[in-house]
Amino acid sequence: MNAMPRFDVICDPMNQWIVWDHVTESPASFGGQILDGLDEQEAGRLAKVMNELHGSQQALADCNGKRSVR
């Protein structure tokens, strides 16, 4: 079963794109920069990177959690 990715792209009323964080239910940010006002291609690339980073962090947390159980 595939889980919904945390980050997605949505189009705002001004036809600009936002990287959306489904967990916080708000625009995503990275390094203090809100990821909005983007073109569709850039938003898609950023959402992909954010999902990859989130997935890597989640896998590391899961791995560390399993190690600490011993």
What pLDDT sits at residue 12?
A: 95
What pLDDT sits at residue 68?
A: 45
**Is-contact 19 50, C-beta < 8 A?**
yes
pTM (global) more than 0.95 = no
Render pLDDT for 20-48 as a digit per residue (tens, 0 to 9).
999 999 999 999 999 999 999 999 999 99
Q: How far, CA to CA in Å, does 12 sit from each of 8, 16, 31, 56?
A: 13, 5, 22, 29
35 or 57, higher pLDDT: 35
Count of other CB atoms within 10 angstroms of residue 63:
10
Counting Cα atoms < 13 Å in the Cβ hemisphere of 63 gives: 6
66 or 17, higher pLDDT: 17
